[in-house]
Amino acid sequence: MTRLSRSRARILAAVAVLAAVSAVVTLVVLRRDDFLGVVLAILVVLLAMIAGVAVDAARHQPPTGPATAAAPPQQATGGLHGIDAPTLETLDNPMMVAALRTRLRDR
């Protein structure tokens, strides 16, 4: 499965929102309460979900282009070679902690 680029995700979200709005308008104008009305209502929900996922994908994509700068190198500030306490707390597995210590020792 491929990831959506930021611009494609925005385009997909815009198209899904326009399709959902047109389906809602069709549903309201026709005032159908038979099988077609149910299908249109399900289509509206599906299109709204697609739009939401596309917006979320666009938000979580890193910005591209020349404006991105490299992060400055972090200084080691005590502890286990600059690794902070929350990171160490997430390493529950003793094997992972041992592998991390070995990797840092081999530097």
Q: What share of the chain is helix, strand, coil (3-state, %, to 5)?
A: 65, 0, 35
49-62: pLDDT as tens digits: 999 999 998 888 77
User: How big is the chain by its Cα radius of gyration, in Å?
Assistant: 24
Mean pLDDT, the chain, integer: 79
Q: Residue 4: its pLDDT value, please?
A: 75
What is the rounded distance in angstroms from the CA atom of residue 88 to the CA atom of residue 104? 14
Token pair in block for residue 70: 């490299």
Confidence of residue 92 (pLDDT cuts 50, 70, 90): low
Q: From the DSSP assignment, how many helices (H) and strands (E) are in the chain?
A: 4, 0
Q: Residue 52: its pLDDT value, please?
A: 93
12, amino acid identity? L
